[in-house]
């Protein structure tokens, strides 16, 4: 499974981190103000779409998505 990095605008609150951890336990959230970074293994396609949709539902603005090398 490919490793992915998602950079989002602003610091991700504890509530959002908890919600993401419940739904996507493979992602680790690092707050690196003024942005936050989610790193983990995510399949392209449906799983990525679901992850991005959940971020949108939580009001988290995605700045960048990068597929990392293994």
For the entire predicted model, the pTM comes to: 0.84
Q: Is the pLDDT of residue 2 over 70?
A: yes
Q: How far apart are CA 40 and CA 27, in angstroms?
A: 4
Contact 20, 38 (CB under 8 A): yes
Helical segments of 1-70, H only: 14-23, 46-57
Q: What is the pLDDT of residue 5?
A: 92
Nearest-10 Cα torsion for 23, 27, 28, 32: -100
Mean pLDDT of 2-18: 90
Class for domain 3-68, per CATH?
alpha beta
Strand partners, 32: 35
Q: Is the pLDDT of residue 65 over 90?
A: yes
- Give tens-digit pLDDT for 19-60: 989 988 999 999 888 889 999 998 888 999 999 999 999 999
């Amino acid at each position: 499974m490919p490793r992915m990095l998602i950079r989002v605008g602003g610091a991700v609150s504890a509530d959002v981190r908890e919600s993401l951890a419940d739904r996507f336990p493979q992602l680790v959230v690092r707050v690196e103000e003024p942005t936050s970074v989610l790193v983990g293994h995510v399949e392209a396609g449906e799983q990525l779409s679901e992850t991005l949709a959940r971020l949108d539902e939580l009001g988290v603005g995605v700045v960048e998505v990068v597929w990392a090398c293994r």
